[in-house]
Amino acid sequence: MTIQMNGKIAIVTGAGGTLCSEMARNLAQQGAKVALIGRNLEKLKKVEQEITKNGGAAISVSADVTDQSQVEAARMTIINTFGFCDILINGAGGNQPDAVTTISEFNDEELNQEKGIRGFFNLSMEKFSNVIETNTMGTVIPCFVFGKDMAEKKSGVIINIASMNSFRPLSRVGAYGMAKAGIMNFTQWLAAYLAPANIRVNAIAPGFFLNERSTKLLTTPDGGFTERGGNIIRQTPLKRFGKASELIGCINWLIDDEAAGFVTGITIPVDGGFLADSGI
């Protein structure tokens, strides 16, 4: 699905990543002026160059989306360059190894700090908290900063990035799952709150897509799957991982006021059927 976004100003956070860079390129291809926000300016610049090389308009703005002052500064840069935000995609997020267990259920060995085992009681609570903050406040703050401009002009579209964890907990990733469950709830709350301002708020919940980090966790050097990767494929009816480009149709539909003008407050799985399979 393609739509016309000529003259629209789109902001994508986490735009240096595999999925969100694809979203940013898509927005630019359809005529939007795209502001790329993230902490890694080098990655953002690479995406920006790809967009401008193909005739699109983009700027890179380095900012930590959990820091309100940095997001406020990014807002001013974007306004001075392009104008006020019409479309906001909150893609910044992620996980940290020290907030992830290496086992799926309690094992007495974790109490003894055995090497090679990282259970819940071995996790870094600082990192656990960081994951929650990055994935929750990293969405809330951009909504707070850019949503106000949308409210003043009585139009706008916000798309948050949820997860399979939003619907049910997955093993090993307690902090990430907790945060993403919160994103789905926040999306519903904000959609109802901003409806009088004619702002639609929705989320997509990607299933399992390969990026630089997940490739190492889910695949082997010979092209096979790790144990966890194999489990995911078995649980996914389409029997493969998703491609970043396969999120675009859903994103475009949610943005299009004619196609989805009566759609707000929903979280759409794009997961190859993962949530539809009980595993039995």
What domains sit in the chain, N to C, each tagged with a CATH number? 9-98+131-207+244-269 (3.40.50.720), 211-241 (no CATH)
Q: Which amino acid is at 227?
A: E
- 70 Cβ neighbours under 8 A, 6+ residues apart: 63, 64
Alpha helices in the chain (DSSP H): 18-29, 41-53, 68-81, 125-153, 174-194, 212-218, 227-235, 248-255, 257-260
User: What are the Cα distances from residue 273, in Å, to 127, 159, 228, 269, 279?
Assistant: 31, 21, 17, 8, 11
Per-residue model confidence (pLDDT) at position 2: 78
Q: Which residues are catalytic?
A: 176
As a whole number of angstroms, the distance between CA 261 and CA 31 comes to 20
Tokens of 108: 């007495």
Per-residue model confidence (pLDDT) at position 3: 84
On the question of pLDDT at 73 being above 90, the answer is: yes
- Summarised one tens digit per residue, pLDDT across range 4-60 is 899 999 999 999 999 999 999 999 999 999 999 999 999 999 999 999 999 999 999
Burial class (CB in 10 A: 0-12, 13-18, 19+), 272: buried
- Summarised one tens digit per residue, pLDDT across range 82-130 is 999 999 999 999 999 999 999 999 999 999 876 779 999 999 999 999 9
Q: What is the mean pLDDT of residues 165-177?
A: 96
On the question of pLDDT at 223 being above 90, the answer is: no
Whether residue 199 contacts residue 147, with contact meaning beta carbons closer than 8 Å, is answered with yes
Place of tokens 């406040």: 137
Q: Give me the chain's average pLDDT, please.
A: 96
Q: Which amino acid is at 158?
A: I
